[in-house]
Structure 1
Amino acid sequence: MPSGPNSGRVSRSSGRWRWSDATRETTDTPTAATLETERMKDRYGLEVSTSSAEARDAYVEGIDRMLSAEAGVEDCLAAAIAADPGFALPHAALARQHQLYVRPDEARASAEAAVELSHSATARERQHVEIVRLLVAGQVPQALDLIRQHVIDYPRDAFALAPACGVFGAIGFSGRIGREAELLEFLEPLATHYGDDWWFATVHAFALIETGRWDRGRQLAERALEQRPSTPHGAHTLVHALFEAGDDDEAVSFLEGWLPDSDRASVLHCHIWWHYALVLMAVSRHDDAWQAFRHNCLPGTTTSPPITVFSDSSSFMWRSELAGQPRDRAIWQQVREFYEERFPQPIVFVDAHAGLTYAVLGETEQLQACLTELQELGEAGRLPAGTTGATLGQAYGAFVDEKWSTVIDVLEPLIPQVVRIGGSRAQRDLMTNTLLAAYVRSGRTDEARAFCAQVVDRRPTRPVAGFELC
């Protein structure tokens, strides 16, 4: 567990959460006299407006589980609310949890409850709740602006900082080309405030990896896992470092040791198994890759958020075909039905995968309707990544039609822009490998090798049929 300043430890024993800092352990509700001299604080040493130790401890546990991507978040937050219904912060955290799982009505209700209850809370808590309200309302740029202001005064408010972090965060989904460097620049001054904290080490590591410093990122990810071995975020970050270095065998070995004890209810369950399937593909264990994918990533096999289930499923199947494996049309139809059911409105990262399903299934009218909508919304400035999603869809359609020159002409100038869609470099290799496959299938393998040589800070394996880097 954390050993930095104001760090603490959370455990659950006999149905009760216990929280301790460096000087005390609290298991009972403090007396009024105690509260006069000592306010309740969270694991980061920040005051929280509750007089219930049980509520505070359950809230701290719930936040740690959210920051770690572990299961059991909603049980913890429900326990905190039950112990103190007037405690605003658990309602705010629950709003974010609902938002993550695409439950908009529940997210708004929890955010509204948090706002109402925060009127009597501290200034820090009120601003924290307002950040969540803005996020739930879809006002992401405004939320990011407030996060930047908030961490000046409250740099250790981890849960308020978290929505700005990662490739799916407010910066990651900003649509800006330089957003990877922007996130690292934002995080690095905050490192001194977190010491050896496992959560900050994880998000800092990921930002380093995405800007080419995967060796330093690996060190931080390993440190986080030493402190909290169960953290899916830590495991996920380490796998990214290994992927960037091209250490496929090590990634397989690590995941085969870590996955058996992982919780299927984790928010990252689908995605980490997707990584495992990809590295199995990279070492030519295609049957094992498909087995891992079928049982852990497809709709109906996982409780992970819909954005992950759809993007990982469509991405894996497309990459598998690029690697020379046969198409499973029935599974593509299953994924297309999931997409149409769960995503009535365009979402920036989903946009970049939406054309895959229609193109593969030969549903040209649906593909064209999808691309027209994305093009119009992008031109109107209503999508952070502009028209990138529409252009990618055009390339996928051309690839299925075996128009290799068209694919190359579309994707070559677009590759430097795809960072705008969000997602990690590993995820965006969907587009890179598509371009490489088009080079190979048009007899331009030397151009494929030259393209790979331009990227000097990465060594990922490229499972593309007919292509060897050297």
Structure 2
Amino acid sequence: MHHDRFGQPITAQSARAVELYDDAVDRMFALQPGSDALVDGALALDPEFALGHCAKARTLAGLGDNAGARDSAARGRDLAAHCSERERRHAEIVYRVLRGDSGSALDAVRAHAVDHPRDAVPISFALGVYGLYGFGGFKDFRSRQVELLKRLAPAWGNDDWWFLASYGWALVEAGDAETGIPMLDRALELKPDNANAAHGRTHGYYEQGAAEEGEEFIEAWLPRYDRGAILHAHLAWHQALFALQRGDAERAHAIYLDSIRPAVSRTLPMFTLVDCASFLLRAEVVGTVADPAQRRELVDLVEERFAKPGIPFVNAHIVMAYGGVSDRESQDRIQREVAKLLERDRQPCGPVVADVCSAVAAYSKGDYRHAADTLARALPEVERLGGSNAQRDVFIDLAVSAHIRCGAMNAARNLASERWTRRAGHLDETWFDRLCAVQNQRP
């Protein structure tokens, strides 16, 4: 009987196939390229390796091949019928996730984690800010992740880099950076090329308001990371965001042009859209207007890959992208289609997505009062959209700016200070004064 690196029995005909599978899973968890070749090698040795096909499904999804991912997941599920109970449940979860059956997949993950707390691959689907919890429409998804990981912790100890990175980042996002950051540091000590831990550590700097230190951390870590890896552009986005928030717009835009914009990004289209749209809008909020060609380039990506709205968090960023080129007709169309999805119960976050889309569109049209009022209503529910604290901060930034631009200065200051006194202290009075200066310079 073979065992995977987590100590679990695994059905395979070749010890070497299991070794390659373990290496592929490690690369997936570290967000490093190369897992596709490793898992292909495992399947060449054992074509009926059920969990190998499941790993291939996840690898293909990470490369943007959703149809291939679904096919591999179905193959893994079929083959797992002749394997152990754990492997059957593992394969079923992968199948449900990649078929888009998120609700039942999450239920299955929670049950599976009780019986098999070290089965990392299916459990990992519930983690992160784009996972089953993050995109599940939960107002408290951060605390739900922490609760799950807390229950699993006794089975993992203190020396597994994947678990430490996952738990540490979840704690940082939930407001416990004091506990989470040492876990992330330990995860990086155990595996320095772990991009997942580097990403979580970057969020730790952000939440603690350490913009300069965070920027320096990324500047030191990122050159060792393959530009074609899935998280390279996003880590560069964090670097650019720190620079922008410090007031160095020139440096921020240089990073955007070099590593983030659609023409150079080599990550998933969804990641590119979200990062580019929010960066360009935040730059506008602090008074830096992007080259129209940069905005057009982003809209070209939207029209090529996001013809129809889908994931709520993404929908809000589609509206941002169209706002950058003053395409009111497309903004209105997206809002109408989001409303139809809500009617069909296809937006798990509920009506907050409609409010956010409406506010973003209103801001781009210069209707700052509507944007301010709508965002004031939406902000208490905006966590339902998913994404990280740093990503959702774009909606706070927009709300502060909208209040300033419609003359509601006390409300604007209250929104900004409520954030800087709790977290992200680098977005302080100096940052607030920059937004006020932008308003004073407007004609």
TM-score range, shorter chain: over 0.9
The sequence identity of aligned pairs, in percent, is 33
Aligned to 1:300: 263
Which amino acid is the alignment partner of residue 412 of structure 2?
A: A
Asked whether the 8 Å contact 1:232–1:266 carries over to 2, the reply is no
Aligned partner of 1:434 in structure 2 is 398
What's the counterpart of residue 31 of structure 1? none
Gaps spanning 5+ residues in structure 2: where? 438-443
**RMSD, matched Cα:** 1.5
Secondary structure of the 2:435 match is: coil
1:171 aligns with 2:129: no
Rg comparison, structure with higher value: 1
Q: CA deviation at 1:166?
A: 0.9
User: Relative to total residues, which structure has the larger helix share, 1 or 2?
Assistant: 2
- SS of aligned partner of 2:125: helix
My pick for the range that moved more, 95-104 or 136-145, is 95-104
Q: Which residue of 2 aligns with 1:160?
A: 122
- Work out whether residues 326 and 365 of structure 2, in 8 Å CA contact, stay in contact via their aligned partners in 1: no
Match for residue 458 of structure 1 among 405, 419, 423: 423
- Size of the aligned set, in residue pairs, is 430
1:395 to 340, 359, 371: 359
2:181–2:201 CA contact under 8 A, matched in 1: yes
Which residue pairs with 1:423 in the alignment?
387
Alignment partner of 1:184 out of 146, 156, 176: 146
* TM-score (normalizing by structure 2): 0.94
1:280·1:286 contact (CA, 8 Å) conserved in 2? yes
Structure 1 unmatched runs, 5+: 1-38
The answer to whether the 8 A contact 2:169-2:200 is kept is yes
Q: Give CA deviations for 1:215-259 in whole Å, capped at 9, x if unaligned.
A: 211111111000001011011000101101110111111111111
TM-score of the two chains, using structure 1 as the length reference: 0.88
Aligned-partner Cα distance in 1 for 2:306–2:231 = 20
Q: How does 1:89-238 map to 2 (within 5 A)?
A: 89-196=51-158, 197-238=160-201
Work out whether 1:449 is the aligned partner of 2:413. Answer: yes
Give secondary structure in 2 for the equivalent of 1:164: coil
Give me the whole-angstrom Cα distance separating, in 2, the residues matched to 1:358 and 1:266: 28
Contact 1:351–1:390 (CA under 8 A) maintained in structure 2: no
Which residue number in structure 2 is paired with residue 45 of structure 1? 7
Counting only pairs closer than 5 Å after superposition, residues 295-374 of structure 1 correspond to structure 2 as 295-345=258-308, 346-374=310-338
Shift of 1:368: 0.7
Could you give the per-residue CA deviations for residues 268-326 of structure 1, whole angstroms, max 9, x where no partner exists?
A: 11111100110111222222211211121122312211111110011111111111112
- Other-structure match for 2:253: 290
Take 2:39 and 2:369, find their aligned partners in 1: how far apart are those partners? 54
TM superposition shift of 1:133? 0.5
Given the alignment of the two structures, is residue 82 of structure 1 paired with residue 53 of structure 2, yes or no?
A: no
**Which amino acid in the other structure matches residue 178 of structure 2?**
D
Greater CA drift, 61-70 or 117-126: 117-126
Distance in 2 (alpha carbons) for counterparts of 1:151 and 1:51: 26
The CA deviation at 1:467 is: 4.5
Q: State the match for 1:73 in structure 2.
A: 35
Per-residue deviation, 1:153: 1.2
CA displacement at 1:152 relative to structure 2: 1.3
Q: Distance in 1 between matches of 2:267 and 2:170?
A: 23
Instruction: Note the C-alpha offset of 1:69.
Output: 0.9
Task: Report the AA paired with residue 327 of structure 1.
Answer: A
Q: Residues of 1 paired with 2:82 and 2:345: CA distance?
A: 39
| Amino acid in structure 2 at the alignment position of 1:278 | L
CA distance in 1, matches of 2:87, 2:11: 8
Does the aligned pair in 2 maintain the 1:352–1:388 contact within 8 Å?
no
Structure 2 match to 1:407: 371
Contact 1:408 1:438 in 2 (8 A): yes
Q: Distance in 2 between matches of 1:315 and 1:123?
A: 44
